[in-house]
Amino acid sequence: MIRPAVFLLVLVAITGCSGIKTYPNTMDKNLFVDLKKDRGVRVSLDVYDVDANCRAGYRGTVQLDAKVSEVGIPTSKWLFLSFNFARSSIIFGNSSMGHGTMIKARRGKIYRAKAIYRDDMYSVEIREADSRDAEGREMEHIELSECKPGER
């Protein structure tokens, strides 16, 4: 009787029950995340589809461990990108701060995100450019709450 329970526990531990799934980062890379952060801060990127009714569907999470991470995001459709800065401490426990914006990536363009977390302050800036070296233009920050059904 105990064995099936143990098996289930192991299965849950292996598959993960946190609701976080890995983003299938298989598309052509068009989002380059430049990361600067303090030690001990974990940064991840949640990718959501946004439908015509402004409902966000979770696609998955990319752990941003490298100094520059390359991500392939779909073009010609609205997405919600949420950068999460997470910390753990004995005193304050686990905490996570999210910074999200809606974006509609265009085919043939590249997107450079600069994510910074320093001294309990953070910023995320996304630029659209024709190439990785080009300056490009800063993307407008659009909250999911600004989305109006039927307008996107």
Binding residues for another protein, rule: CB under 8 A, are 85, 87, 91-99, 116-117, 120-123, 125, 141, 143, 145
Residue 36 beta carbon to another protein: minimum distance, rounded to whole angstroms: 12
- Please, which residue, 1 or 121, has the CB nearer to another protein? 121
Report helix, strand or coil for 17: coil
- Please, which residue, 22 or 95, has the CB nearer to another protein? 95
Residue 24 beta carbon to another protein: minimum distance, rounded to whole angstroms: 27
Residue 80 beta carbon to another protein: minimum distance, rounded to whole angstroms: 14
Q: Say if CB 113 and CB 92 are below 8 A apart.
A: no
- Please, which residue, 15 or 92, has the CB nearer to another protein? 92
Among left, alpha and beta (phi > 0; psi -120 to 50; other), residue 90 is alpha
- Please, which residue, 53 or 123, has the CB nearer to another protein? 123
Residue 98 beta carbon to another protein: minimum distance, rounded to whole angstroms: 8
Radius of gyration of the chain (CA): 18
How many other C-beta atoms can be found within 10 angstroms of the C-beta atom of residue 1?
4
Q: Say if CB 145 and CB 100 are below 8 A apart.
A: no
Distance CA(110)–CA(60), nearest Å, equals 20
- Please, which residue, 14 or 91, has the CB nearer to another protein? 91
Residue 89 beta carbon to another protein: minimum distance, rounded to whole angstroms: 9
Distance CA(122)–CA(120), nearest Å, equals 7
